[in-house]
């Protein structure tokens, strides 16, 4: 009855798997054609706007950071406002290694940043994830504030308030130099790192592990009652999410060639949360849409109302919270369902 069915030939498919509900599940992890769009747009951007590649690299880094938050918040439902703790850890890991000339090879540096952030994520997760709701939210902010203050006080190593300027990063693959004036390398490098991380996160969320994270988000108590080791799963998820946020931080340090305390800012953690809510959480591409929308909005509104542009952002967030809980992507989803001819219930 439960003999592992080979996943391939249509002839071996039994009747239950032909049901639309079953087919929705068996086909969910397959790539759709539109999933190529963001990457094609990113490559198009490279050729069309060579003068904005610095901004582009910043955008890609922000997307990666938002993606890491989506894994923890969107999929596992871990309410956090302190994700910059891991961004900052990654940034300072790369920054200190480069500043003191200990290690400047970019890809391995970023992996070390991931490791450092994962250690912090695991250690804090073991304690934090015993709580939930507002307590959890406050504790995530606390960890971030502690790390920021730690970086401020360890002036001898971190440069304190001034940070570590003028980082020299070795060329990517030993060939492609980071040029502060022409950000071509930074942009393509950030794009490559984002792609690898995205494929990893995508694989994860469509795996049985990802499915169980969704279960935890939807009903924690029920997950206990189906025999799931809930806290273990949450700690693993939080650690992976922290590692990816660390990679984003490392990327930020490398592409900007400096680190400072702003890496740990509450402002940064709040912005990435806003981005995720704006784009739509728990759906992978919300990070992309949200980051583009936020930065475009910031650019546009700041030009029209230089002094009060955040008022416009605030109003938009109110509208999203009232009418589009699932963000821009959720809104698109609803419209699509309204417009598409309704499928007759089988």
Partner 1 sequence: MAAPGPKARRIVSEFRLETRGLSRNFGALKAVQQIDFKLGAGARHALIGPNGAGKTTFINLLTGVLSPTQGSVWLAGRDITAKAQAERVKLGIARTFQINRLFRGLSVLENVCIAVTERVGAAGSMIYPAGRRTDIIAESMQLLQTLKLGDVARRRVSELPYGRQRLVELAITIGLKPEVLLLDEPAAGVPSAESHIILDAIEGLPQTIAVLIIEHDMDVVFRFAKRVTVMVSGAIFAEGTPREIEANPEVRAVYLGQSFDQKAGHG
337 binds partner 1 (CB under 8 A): no
The torsion angles phi and psi of 39, rounded to 5 degrees, stand at: -75, -40
Alpha-carbon distance of 149 to 111, in angstroms, equals 24
Q: 256-259, long-range: CB within 8 Å, 24+ apart, which pairs? A: 257/165, 257/166, 257/167, 257/168, 257/169, 257/178, 257/180, 258/95, 258/163, 258/164, 258/165, 258/166, 258/167, 259/91, 259/92, 259/94, 259/95, 259/163, 259/164, 259/167
Taking the complex as a whole, how short is the minimal distance between the CB of residue 323 and partner 1, in angstroms?
A: 19
Read off the tokens for 317: 């967030």
The count of other CB atoms within 10 Å of the CB of residue 9 is 7
The count of other CB atoms within 10 Å of the CB of residue 193 is 21
Taking the complex as a whole, how short is the minimal distance between the CB of residue 132 and partner 1, in angstroms?
A: 16
341 binds partner 1 (CB under 8 A): no
9 binds partner 1 (CB under 8 A): no
Q: Is 257 exposed, middle or buried (0-12, 13-18, 19+ CB in 10 A)?
A: middle
- Cβ distance to partner 1 smaller for residue 135 or 203: 203
- What are the helix (H) ranges across the chain? 15-18, 20-26, 37-48, 53-69, 84-99, 106-128, 133-153, 155-158, 184-205, 208-218, 220-225, 230-256, 266-279, 286-304, 309-323, 327-339
Site for partner 1 in 13-32 (CB under 8 A): 13-14, 16-17, 19-22, 24-30
Among 3-11, 129-137, 172-180, 328-336, the segment contacting partner 1 (CB under 8 A): 3-11
- Cβ distance to partner 1 smaller for residue 2 or 51: 2
Taking the complex as a whole, how short is the minimal distance between the CB of residue 290 and partner 1, in angstroms?
A: 20
Among 8-16, 34-42, 48-56, 304-312, the segment contacting partner 1 (CB under 8 A): 8-16
- Cβ distance to partner 1 smaller for residue 18 or 149: 18
Using CB under 8 A as the binding criterion, the count of chain residues that bind partner 1 stands at 47
- Cβ distance to partner 1 smaller for residue 115 or 204: 204
Site string for partner 1, 191-230 (x = CB under 8 A): ------------xx-xxxxxxx-xx--xx-xxxxxxxxxx
Taking the complex as a whole, how short is the minimal distance between the CB of residue 237 and partner 1, in angstroms?
A: 10
Taking the complex as a whole, how short is the minimal distance between the CB of residue 2 and partner 1, in angstroms?
A: 6
Residue ranges in contact with partner 1 by CB under 8 A: 1-5, 7, 13-14, 16-17, 19-22, 24-30, 203-204, 206-212, 214-215, 218-219, 221-230, 233, 345-346
């Amino acid at each position: 009855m439960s003999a592992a069915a080979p996943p391939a030939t249509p002839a071996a498919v039994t009747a239950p798997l032909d049901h639309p509900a079953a087919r929705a599940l068996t086909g969910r992890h397959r790539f759709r054609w539109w999933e190529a769009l963001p990457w094609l747009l990113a490559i198009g951007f490279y050729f069309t706007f060579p003068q904005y590649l610095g901004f582009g690299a910043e955008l890609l880094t922000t997307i990666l950071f938002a993606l890491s938050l989506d894994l923890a918040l969107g999929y596992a439902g871990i309410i956090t406002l302190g994700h910059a703790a891991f961004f900052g850890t990654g940034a300072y890991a790369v920054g200190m290694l480069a500043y003191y000339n200990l290690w400047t090879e970019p890809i391995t540096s970023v992996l070390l940043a991931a490791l450092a952030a994962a250690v912090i994520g695991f250690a804090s997760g073991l304690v934090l994830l015993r709580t939930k709701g507002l307590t959890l939210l406050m504790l995530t902010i606390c960890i971030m504030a502690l790390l920021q203050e730690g970086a401020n006080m360890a002036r001898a190593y971190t440069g304190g308030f001034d940070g570590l300027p003028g980082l020299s990063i070795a060329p990517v693959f030993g060939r492609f130099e980071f040029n502060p004036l022409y950000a071509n390398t930074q942009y393509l490098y950030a794009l490559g790192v984002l792609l690898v991380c995205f494929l990893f996160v995508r694989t994860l969320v469509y795996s049985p592990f990802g499915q169980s994270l969704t279960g935890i988000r939807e009903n924690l108590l029920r997950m206990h009652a189906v025999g799931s080791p809930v806290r273990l799963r949450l700690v693993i998820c939080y650690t992976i999410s922290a590692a990816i946020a660390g990679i984003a931080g490392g990327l930020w340090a490398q592409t900007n060639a400096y680190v400072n305390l702003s890496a740990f800012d509450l402002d940064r953690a709040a912005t990435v949360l806003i981005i995720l809510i704006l784009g739509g959480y728990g759906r992978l591409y919300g990070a992309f849409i949200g980051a583009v929308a936020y930065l475009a909005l910031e650019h546009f509104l700041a030009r029209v109302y230089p002094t009060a542009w955040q008022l416009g952002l605030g109003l938009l967030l109110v509208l999203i919270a009232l009418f589009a809980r699932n963000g821009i992507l959720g809104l698109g989803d609803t419209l699509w369902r309204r417009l598409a001819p309704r499928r007759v219930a089988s």
